[in-house]
Structure 1
Amino acid sequence: MTEDMIEDIEVESTIPRALVILAEGAEEAEAVIVVDILRRGGIDVVFAGLNGDGPVLCGRKMKLLPDIALSAVTGHFQAIVLPGGAEGARRLASSEAVGERLRHAVTDGLVVGAICAAPLALQAHHVFAGKSMTCHPSVASRIAMYGNLVQKPVVEDGQLVTSQGLGTAFLFGLTLVRRIMGDVRAADVERGLTLPR
């Protein structure tokens, strides 16, 4: 192995990584927006299919192609992100593989992001109980029984970042970039998005 190859490996290993888990029935626009913004922020995003690496049929009947099956994912991450969608959230909540990832994330101090109905998976896997969080209005009554429900577009409490839904996905993604990469990078990404003021 040459010195150049070793340097390339060392550089790659220092790039922050985020794991985004895609389940059947997920809200596809949330998933795509978050992955896009994280990648614009210079984060190495692993887009993992909950049940394999084949096309995933999402909530609005669009098919998204994951990079890899969740079962094949290895390595260390700085963040784990759960897109929403009612059916996608239900599948995330019922997956022991997701539960194991979340419990390790809590122990290891990773940033954990959940948007729309995905905070239901936090409840199902018994992580972040009592923390301040937000969610889609359709599941607010259930989340209010588990955490401190805050009606804001994005809520941060320690390592947990939650958001309300598709309309808040850009802000959610930017918040994750800020948490992982810092204020300057997040501001750079935001400028390029030409978001309405």
Structure 2
Amino acid sequence: MPSAVVVLPAGAEEMEFVASVDVLRRAGVTVTVGGLDGTDPVKCSRDVVIVPDVALSSIDKDSFDVIVLPGGLGGAKAMAASSLIGDLLRNQEKNGKLIAAICASPAMVLKAHEIGVGKKITCYPSFKDQLDDKFTFVDEIVVQDGKLITSQGPATAFAFGVKIAENLVGAEKANQVANGILLK
């Protein structure tokens, strides 16, 4: 069964986080919520509190098919500053595995850790000027370039989750999930 770790930093955008976890679980993906700062409850950007399954520092860095980075300015800043996130992402990229980032995370986290340099990505539109010449911005709700999936923000989070699921469990199952949540 495919597996995902969804990173949970303080200040994460909860809609992006929950939609990604929900869609992936509906698709049959084993999802682990990895707390950036441990296992204590995490306050997200709109004061919703979520409890991680595990401390991100305790995971086996080779055991997940995808690493998912939610947005939210505070969460993206924390992940951009985290050497642990950098190490996990570089390992994932080196091993040719999926990385998925939404909202501020493509522009802040991927750029900070030099992940996916040269690829086509999208992000929250107000962050596109921060991409410099490291990436090519594409104004679409979800963009996939190789093993990198990016998306724009809260309203695109379900389509983002479905694209990740499509890569992990196939288009047929991903479409069943999309239809089941009335996305299509």
Aligned position for 1:25 = 11
Query: Is 1:57 the counterpart of 2:57 in the alignment?
Result: no
Q: Secondary structure at the match of 2:160?
A: helix
**Aligned twin of 1:89:** 76
Question: Who is 1:178 aligned against?
Answer: 166
Counterpart residue identity of residue 101, structure 2: A
CA deviation string 1:88-110 (max 9, x = no partner): 00000000000000000001111
Do residues 103 (structure 1) and 97 (structure 2) align?
no
Deviation at 1:146, TM superposition (A): 2.3
Partner Cα separation in structure 1 for residue 27 and residue 111 of structure 2: 29
Task: Give the aligned partner of residue 65 of structure 2.
Answer: 78
Q: TM-score, normalised by structure 1?
A: 0.90
Q: 1:57 Cα deviation (Å)?
A: 0.8
| 1: CA distance, partners of 2:52 / 2:91 | 22
When Rg is computed on C-alpha atoms for both structures, the one with the higher figure is 1
The TM-score with structure 2 as length reference comes to: 0.96
Query: Per-residue deviation at 1:140?
Result: 1.1
In the TM superposition, residue 144 of structure 1 has moved relative to its aligned partner by 4.4
Residues 6-49 of structure 1 show CA distances to partners (whole Å, capped at 9, x for unaligned) of xxxxxxxxx11101101101101110010000000000001100
Moved over 4 A (4+): none
State which of 143, 147, 152 in structure 2 corresponds to 1:155: 143
Number of aligned residues: 182
Give the unaligned 5+ runs of structure 1.
1-14
Quick one: distance in 1 between partners of 2:18 and 2:132? 28
Deviations 1:103-137 (A, max 9, x none): 00001111100000011101000111111000001
Tell me the amino acid that sits aligned with residue 25 of structure 1.
G
1:41 counterpart residue number: 27
Equivalent in the alignment of 1:8: none
Answering whether residue 106 of structure 2 is matched by residue 112 of structure 1, we say no
What is aligned with 2:125? 137
Distance 2:138 2:174 in 1: 23
CA distance in 2 between counterparts of 1:42 and 1:144 reads 37
Quick one: which of 151, 154, 157 aligns to 1:166? Answer: 154
Displacement of 1:194: 1.4
Unaligned runs of 5+ in 2: none
Cα distance in structure 1, aligned partners of 2:85 and 2:132: 22
Alpha-carbon distance in 1 for matches of 2:68, 2:21: 9
RMSD: 1.0
